[in-house]
Amino acid sequence: MSLPEFSSSTTGEEAADALAGEIQGKNVLITGTSVGGIGFETARVIAKHANLVVITGYSAERLKVAEDTIKKDFPSANIRSLVLDLSSLAAIRKAAAEVNSYSEPLHVLINNAAAPIAPFELTVDNLERQTATDHIGPFLFTKLLAPKLLASTSSSGSYTPRVVFLSSTGHAFIPGFDLSQVVGKPDPATYHPFNVYSHVKAANVLMAIELSRCSGGKIKAYSLCPGLIFTNIHQKEQSIEIMQAAGFIDGDKKPSTEKFDVWKSIPQGATTTVVAAFDPRLNDHAGAYLSNGAEANKERAAHSSDPATAEKLWTATEEIVGEKFTF
């Protein structure tokens, strides 16, 4: 049975239903799964078919709400909650150790979580919060879970584990990639929230390329733009003023159509993640960038397509976390 072509109007559930044969039997971990976000919707539609979906977040209470909400729609869904704070290297190591103790294999890791676009703030590790949560944290988490992902590879070679990085068209809003913006010493005097956002989203694209290369194809990694979507992250108090000044949110704290008229719904926003995680048509396209439910490498900025830049970023991030990510 041939698969349909997915588009900007396809919902995540429609994509998951079409890819049900690929999802069945798989164990999937998704970061950032609070109700009202893309990660939650992604977890919800995948849980309809998967063997196990691990949902993560920094609040056990919010994870319980997410699990209960998913099971209300799909009572037979197998959901497991994992407390994970991607802004803390120690918390990441603790959470990864818990995942590595699971008896089940891990087939897919979806790095969905992100920090709000907000004023300058340092983490417990003295890292800038957006950079820590959106790039450095996922890098370390992926590194620590890589052996478990690799263990899920089928002996016949018919299945290769996947890692998905949620990026954004915002990765292309900068003229070039300045490595120091991501791995340099945080400086509140030069901090601009959207500049950092663009750089960490560019880093997500570069990591998909480099992970696919470094693993020698043993892990297939993809990056993607889910689309412009009004989610719970836009409603965080620390980011509302910034988002309003940029024209994304209006005076009523709702999505603005004055500057942006291409808003997607949250169900539509989950589609490209589902495709990146399971569509077999991507098997020979590791490292690809996706948008609107399909491969979209032509939309990937030149600075986020450079293998040399990807390698430098990888090495610099290894130095920050204090661990080599090798295969």
50 contacts 29 by C-beta, under 8 angstroms: no
Residue 254: predicted pLDDT: 75
**Percentage of residues of the chain with pLDDT beyond 70:** 96
pTM over 0.85, yes/no: yes
Residue 242: predicted pLDDT: 74
Given a cut of 90, whether residue 95 has pLDDT beyond it is yes
How far is residue 29's CA from residue 110's CA, in Å, rounded to a whole number?
6
How far is residue 54's CA from residue 32's CA, in Å, rounded to a whole number?
11
Residue 74: predicted pLDDT: 98
Give every CB contact of residue 63 below 8 A, 6+ residues apart in sequence: 33, 55, 56, 57, 81, 82, 83
Given a cut of 90, whether residue 90 has pLDDT beyond it is yes
Q: Among the options 58, 191, 222, 289, which is catalytic?
A: 191
Distances (CA, A) of 177 to 86, 122, 171: 23, 22, 9
Confidence tier at 271 by pLDDT (50, 70, 90): very high
Given a cut of 70, whether residue 235 has pLDDT beyond it is no
Distances (CA, A) of 55 to 58, 77, 97, 112, 169: 11, 12, 15, 11, 25
Residue 240: predicted pLDDT: 73
Position with higher pLDDT, 173 vs 47: 47
How far is residue 277's CA from residue 139's CA, in Å, rounded to a whole number?
18
Active site residue 102: no
Q: Give the mean pLDDT of 240-259.
A: 71
Given a cut of 90, whether residue 284 has pLDDT beyond it is yes
Per-residue pLDDT tens over the stretch 153-198: 977 677 999 999 999 998 998 999 999 999 998 999 999 999 999 9
Burial 118-148 (b: 16+ CB within 10 A, else e): bebbebebebbbbbbbbbbbbbbbbbbbbeb
Tokens of 122: 């340092």
The secondary structure of 4-34 as a DSSP string is PPP-TT--HHHHHHHTHHHHTT-EEEES---
DSSP character for 140?
Answer: H
How far is residue 56's CA from residue 78's CA, in Å, rounded to a whole number?
14
How far, rounded to the nearest angstrom, does the alpha carbon of residue 281 sit from its chain's CA centroid? Answer: 20
228 contacts 262 by C-beta, under 8 angstroms: yes
- Residue-averaged pLDDT of the chain: 93
Per-residue pLDDT tens over the stretch 113-135: 999 889 999 999 999 999 999 99
